[in-house]
Amino acid sequence: MEKYRVKVYKKGIIVIPKEIREKIGIKEGDILELTVNGNKIDIEKPMTLLDLFGVDGEVAVEVAKEVIKERRKEVEREIRS
């Protein structure tokens, strides 16, 4: 297990070392999940549709958006009736 020390800046900002970002594939704008267990913090990069579907990931994201849009329309119709 590798350990790194990082400094905490104003507003709790920390910098994840470049080596870790490259190894895990973290890039600007990514969402990370933090899990607190006692005085320990785990940082995890959750899988996205793009990760799960690879080259077809963008198509999968568009399909998911379309499904959500249609479901919202259904809910609106149910509320109105």
Q: 30 and 51 in one domain?
A: no
pLDDT, one tens digit per residue, over 30-49 is 999 999 999 999 999 988 76
What's the confidence (pLDDT) of residue 33? 94
Q: How confident is the model at residue 57 (pLDDT cuts 50, 70, 90)?
A: low
d(CA 18, CA 20): 5
Q: How confident is the model at residue 64 (pLDDT cuts 50, 70, 90)?
A: confident
Which runs of consecutive H residues, i.e. helices, occur in 1-81?
18-24, 49-53, 57-80
Q: 61 and 32 in one domain?
A: no
Q: 51 and 41 in one domain?
A: no
Q: Given a cut of 80, is residue 55 above it in pLDDT?
A: no
Residues 6 or more apart in contact with residue 20 via CB below 8 angstroms: 4, 26
Q: Given a cut of 70, is residue 76 above it in pLDDT?
A: yes
d(CA 16, CA 25): 12
Domain that holds residue 19: 1-45
Q: 6 and 33 in one domain?
A: yes
Query: Into how many domains does the chain fold?
Result: 2
d(CA 24, CA 44): 9
Q: 39 and 6 in one domain?
A: yes
Q: Give pTM, 2 decimals.
A: 0.56
